[in-house]
Structure 1
Amino acid sequence: MSKLHGKDGNFHQTDSNGNKHIIVDPITRIEGHLRIEAVIDKDNTIIDAWSSSTMFRGIETIVKNRDPRDVGLMTMRICGVCTGTHYQRSIEAVEDAFDVTIPKNARIVRNLIQGSLQVHDHFVHFYHLHALDFVDIISATKADPVKTAKEAEKWAKIAGTTPYIAGATDFKDIQDRIVKFAKEGRLGIFGNGYWGNKGYKLTPEQNLIGVAHYLKGLDVQRRMSKMHALFGGKSPHPQSIVVGGVTCVQDIQNPARIALFQELLRETTDFVKRAYLPDIYMAGTAYAEEATDSSQSFHGTKHKGTLGKAIGGSGGGLLSFMSYGDFRLDDTGFYNSALFLPAGVILDGDISKVHELDEDKITEDVTHAWFEGTGEPEHPYVGTTIPEYTGLDKKDDGYAYLKTEGKYSWIKSPLYDGRKVEVGPLARMVIGYAKGDKVITKYVGDFLKRSGLPISVLFSTVGRTAARAIETEMIADGMKEWASELAKNAANGDLSTWTSFDFDEVSKDCKGRGMAEAPRGALGHWIVIKDGLVSNFQAVVPSTWNAGPRGPNGEIGAYEASLIGTKVANPEEPLEIIRTVHSFDPCIACAVHVMDTNGKELAVYKVDPTSAF
């Protein structure tokens, strides 16, 4: 074998058949630690892929024998991004176990907190984590600012609005900054990218638009964070949600606080509509050929080592989707309420039929995960989290490879009725559209009509990214109505924020689940309580569904499936691998360090500070 060294922690090997084995580790611009291994044939097409989380996740064991009312404060530390979502899901699991229904104000406030988190998270993901997979920074230095202004106007008009940055002078100022940095050799956060790679499709002017919005977005996201903190108390790690309701009583009573939230929401929505959506139309059109090329798509819930035809394009992946649904719209009970984001399951790309979600069909398997198991997939209520690390395959070439025939990831393998499914914004939009949900149908329909793209474009890397933007606009518009509803309710004298309960009575022997949507997809927390303490707890997070390894019978995960069939312009610069994986918005930080309480050194990790971003 001959070794070919790439950038950004990547290296390749070529076998006697001309197939290249690529290792991308670490995947950067994500939360957590993720490794991708892929095999690329002579035509630069990925023919196999494996996804591995390289850090242990053990929150489930930490919360055992704790007071269930405190679990939310610990489980929010599962992640440093979607902290509030884990917080709320754990509390809802306890409320379900205690059979507690929260007041109307608490329901609305929780929707506003979660909505703020969703909008903020989607926005930051696109601009500050994912956009550089589409936008070539160096190309922007060659743009004509006058033409750039006209280009920005063109895409804003397609989106039905006006450009957020309109003047040629503004674009010239931003370009001058980038040119200066490039000449001085100090691109900073933009350093060590794959600039000039043939996988980039935008024109210099379009790249300059993307860079300008990237930089402007750094300021805009501060307002989104304030919005999240207004009712949450702080961001990240909000603290105003408790079992039975919320504690932000004075915020609900004070019209000025609600008015401030509404003003921040208006500023946020303005950027979403005038910058984010136009940028998605621009990128979607530029990458449309790739997004609708079904020859680059893999379809199937079971890995067979062959490519099959799908209705989508590059990065389409499984084409099976699941959503728990989210954002309760009435007070008929947590699992009886009408939902802003509907629940359901779509299998094998058949959008003519949406299956009702059956919670009993949810299991986790550890055949290919570094955990001990019973040999059979387990439902979360009876699930276990017992580490069993079997290591990597160290070969004579000096590199260590995943033992892909055995265990190769710290992420378990979730299954729905024995199948792998994709979760996230794309799943939510496709399921809502297929169910005929009026709101989702309108927003998805508007996007397809304005872009002139077919619905098949959604089933691709580009479509997954577009779905996140569509959902962002939809949730931002929805929050406007919810904030008004909260203000009206408080003005009418309803200030109730908490439902009382007898802890000693309800916490003897019970169990419950909190199942709803995080920014990255279906999130479930399951809790079993005995004699007032947690006896078992399991969290199945969105990135577990998407990033999980093979299932017990070779079922391939969403990340892995999306990569197979993808063409790579330059194997030494696997931009397409990174772009497709980023389209899921990986959050592998649902992992924590393994610690030895006696101070014994368990492992040493070397981080390359020169790797990109």
Structure 2
Amino acid sequence: MTTRTPNGFALDNSGKRVVVDPVTRIEGHLRVEVNVDSSNVIRNAVSTGTMWRGIETILRGRDPRDAWAFTERICGVCTGTHALASVRAVEDALAIKIPENANSIRNIMQLTLLAHDHIVHFYHLHALDWVDVVSALKADPKETSLLAQSISPWPLSSPGYFKDIQARLTKFVDSGQLGPFKNGYWGSSAYKLPPEANLMAVTHYLEALDFQKEIVKIHTIFGGKNPHPNWLVGGVPCPLNIDGVGGIGAINIESLNYVSTIIDQTNQFIEQVYLPDVMAIASFYKDWLHGGGLAGKSMMSYGDVPERANDFSEKSLNLPRGAIINGNLSEVHPIDLRNSSEIQEFVTHSWYAYPDETRGLHPWDGVTEPHFALGPKTKGVKTNIESLDESAKYSFIKAPRWKGHAMEVGPLARWAIGYAQNKPEFKGPIEKTLRDLDLPPEALFSTLGRTAARALEAQWAGQQLRRFYDKLIATIKAGDSSTANTEKWKPESWPKDCKGVGFSEAPRGALGHWIKIKDTRIANYQCVVPTTWNGSPRDPKGNIGAFEAALLGTPMVDASQPLEILRTLHSFDPCLACSTHVMSEDGQEMASVKVL
């Protein structure tokens, strides 16, 4: 039986049920169930977060100046962006202004994350959905070299170099252990790359694995370590000591010069390896334009990378802000994160309890109370679920909505909104990419388009890294070395009751933290993260989220090898660790740590 959701998607759960659990090559645990018809086309999708998030509960009663250190542990991949949203929320609540240098350094940290995360996502979490690793053993290294040199001046492209990589890969295969390449659907007819393109891509996978550790050294310089660099309410924790030899946490000219070198290397890798690989791989999959779903219909971005300290107006934000509804690119709606009628979270189909589950709650009034119960149509038992009941509660992810709309967030949403706003830095690269691939504009709103938008954003982030680094150096040369404002550090200077919101554009999309402070302690804290938006279950009206919508209509070559499901889900770069967190099966305390 086919039913239609209020947001326009036809669902039919009468076909064969296919379960992918866990979905791997993501952060955290995700379960997806789909129904396929007799032609192996997906007609229904059920996306399930299988862990509970408890950070909000942990933060109650704590010092708000420490909140960033807890929220940053939500995830170790999108490291730092939760801390950024957290310190911004506290600063908003306490009306704290940060120095210009702190704004530049925060932007450098965030842009470093975008560049690093997008490279890691493509090569290590997503590329193997398009690249057949074992096929690379059949490649001619000379032909691979010609292919690589035809698309990029990257120096590591000789026949001997590719021959050595192929020999290394052969050892993996001959040993019976493929190492990082195990458990793939190698040989599936859903793969389309020739062996030479596969060898080139696998080679760059290994290069990216080695290079990504260099990029994050920027975080260790400004934040002391990675993952989970240090942050500070009121600015950044790193003092500037340009003419000195450094010291604990101090940044001198040698450190800044090293940052500049890493930025140059990052831009070179993006321009000469990442972007050419995406374009080359996409050229073989131009007919695989599935996975649109909410893309092009309902998309949202909070905006980020403020040009000026303490200015979060749309004009100051280098990443665009706004919402697109019903595919109308001629109108970008404004967003107000403080308006209780705009962003609301629902739990009708989530394993949480609300006083009234027909109503949504704005995050300032949010409740995170777990309530796990299987629906009456669920098959199996709690410890061994065969298939879930999507008419009941079925996920530990809540269902956030913007003015009642399910939204897609992430690089594609950001770039589509920038395109709709006629911003040349977004519109130009999109039009060039579509022109180079000979694809129509609607191709942007697909799994392939989502992947391309992430690569274009990495290029943009690298360019912005250079610009904000130069801005930081110019401010220092002008005699300003301040990096923190501690005027309101002491709690006795705070109001008795206050609240704030902090946001950022994480690599995966719109991220918001809402805080209420009472008597100098956290009274309520709620995070609505990108995967909460994209991975949400149904809401009370039956609207489905971005993961579920994107899978509908996708044809599969072989339902027992769900490569196509992984392609689309991985294009979102899901982070279930952000949207859910762990508790034990029986709810007891799992660990107690006492710091003396």
Q: With structure 1 as the length reference, what TM-score do the two structures score? A: 0.88
Q: Given the superposition, is the C-alpha separation of residues 189 and 298 from structure 1 closer, same or farther in structure 2, using an over 3 Å criterion? A: closer
Residue number in structure 2 paired with 1:592:
581
CA distance in 1, matches of 2:142, 2:296: 43
Give 5+ residue unaligned stretches, structure 2: 1-11, 243-250, 592-596
Say whether 1:141 aligns with 2:127: no
Q: Given the superposition, is the C-alpha separation of residues 337 and 298 from structure 1 closer, same or farther in structure 2, using an over 3 Å criterion? A: closer
Say whether 1:58 aligns with 2:54: yes
Say whether 1:481 aligns with 2:471: no
Q: What is the CA distance between 1:164 and its match in structure 2?
A: 4.7
Q: Given the superposition, is the C-alpha separation of residues 435 and 379 from structure 1 closer, same or farther in structure 2, using an over 3 Å criterion? A: same
Residue number in structure 2 paired with 1:92:
88
Q: Given the superposition, is the C-alpha separation of residues 394 and 81 from structure 1 closer, same or farther in structure 2, using an over 3 Å criterion? A: same
Deviations 1:462-502 (A, max 9, x none): 11011000000001011101101111111221011112333
8 Å CA contact 1:323, 1:427 repeated in 2: yes
Residue number in structure 2 paired with 1:38:
34
CA distance in 2, matches of 1:552, 1:53: 18
- Of 211, 233, 239, the residue aligned with 1:249 is 239
Task: Output the amino acid matched with 2:236.
Answer: V
CA distance in 2, matches of 1:497, 1:298: 43
Give 5+ residue unaligned stretches, structure 1: 1-14, 157-161, 301-316, 603-613
Q: What is the CA distance between 1:601 and its match in structure 2?
A: 8.9
Say whether 1:167 aligns with 2:165: no
Residue number in structure 2 paired with 1:309:
none
Residue number in structure 2 paired with 1:347:
325
Deviations 1:497-532 (A, max 9, x none): 112333323241100000221110000000011111
> Secondary structure, in 3 states, of the residue corresponding to 2:394?
coil
Residue number in structure 1 paired with 2:247:
none
Q: What is the CA distance between 1:335 and its match in structure 2?
A: 4.2
Deviations 1:58-106 (A, max 9, x none): 1001101111111111111111212311111011000000111111000
Q: What is the CA distance between 1:400 and its match in structure 2?
A: 2.6
Residue number in structure 1 paired with 2:203:
212
8 Å CA contact 2:97, 2:485 repeated in 1: yes
Counterpart mapping for 1:157-306 below 5 A: 162-239=153-230, 241-250=231-240, 254-291=252-289, 296=290, 299=293
- Of 323, 343, 348, the residue aligned with 1:367 is 348
Residue number in structure 1 paired with 2:391:
405
> Secondary structure, in 3 states, of the residue corresponding to 1:61?
helix
8 Å CA contact 1:84, 1:237 repeated in 2: yes
- Of 492, 496, 512, the residue aligned with 2:478 is 492
CA distance in 1, matches of 2:214, 2:102: 23
CA distance in 1, matches of 2:517, 2:303: 25
Residue number in structure 2 paired with 1:535:
523
> Secondary structure, in 3 states, of the residue corresponding to 1:131?
helix
CA distance in 1, matches of 2:572, 2:317: 23
8 Å CA contact 2:303, 2:314 repeated in 1: no
Q: With structure 2 as the length reference, what TM-score do the two structures score? A: 0.90
> Secondary structure, in 3 states, of the residue corresponding to 2:80?
helix
- Of 368, 372, 379, the residue aligned with 1:389 is 372
Deviations 1:563-601 (A, max 9, x none): 000011100000000111000001001222214999579
8 Å CA contact 1:318, 1:561 repeated in 2: no
Task: Output the amino acid matched with 1:592.
Answer: H
- Of 509, 518, 542, the residue aligned with 2:497 is 509
Q: What is the CA distance between 1:348 and its match in structure 2?
A: 1.9
CA distance in 2, matches of 1:439, 1:394: 50
Say whether 1:48 aligns with 2:31: no
Aligned length, in residue pairs = 560
8 Å CA contact 2:499, 2:515 repeated in 1: yes
Q: Given the superposition, is the C-alpha separation of residues 324 and 237 from structure 1 closer, same or farther in structure 2, using an over 3 Å criterion? A: same
Per mean C-alpha deviation after superposition, the further-off stretch among 355-364 and 520-529 is: 355-364
Q: What is the CA distance between 1:404 and its match in structure 2?
A: 0.8
Counterpart mapping for 1:520-599 below 5 A: 520-590=508-578, 591-595=580-584
CA distance in 2, matches of 1:192, 1:164: 32
Residue number in structure 1 paired with 2:8:
none
Q: What is the CA distance between 1:336 and its match in structure 2?
A: 6.4
> Secondary structure, in 3 states, of the residue corresponding to 2:503?
strand
Task: Output the amino acid matched with 2:284.
Answer: A
CA distance in 2, matches of 1:131, 1:21: 27
CA distance in 2, matches of 1:480, 1:352: 32
Q: What is the CA distance between 1:24 and its match in structure 2?
A: 0.4
Percent of paired sites with the same residue:
46
Say whether 1:70 aligns with 2:54: no
Q: What is the CA distance between 1:249 and its match in structure 2?
A: 0.8
CA distance in 2, matches of 1:259, 1:601: 45
Q: Given the superposition, is the C-alpha separation of residues 38 and 321 from structure 1 closer, same or farther in structure 2, using an over 3 Å criterion? A: same
Say whether 1:327 aligns with 2:318: no
Counterpart mapping for 1:299-314 below 5 A: 299=293
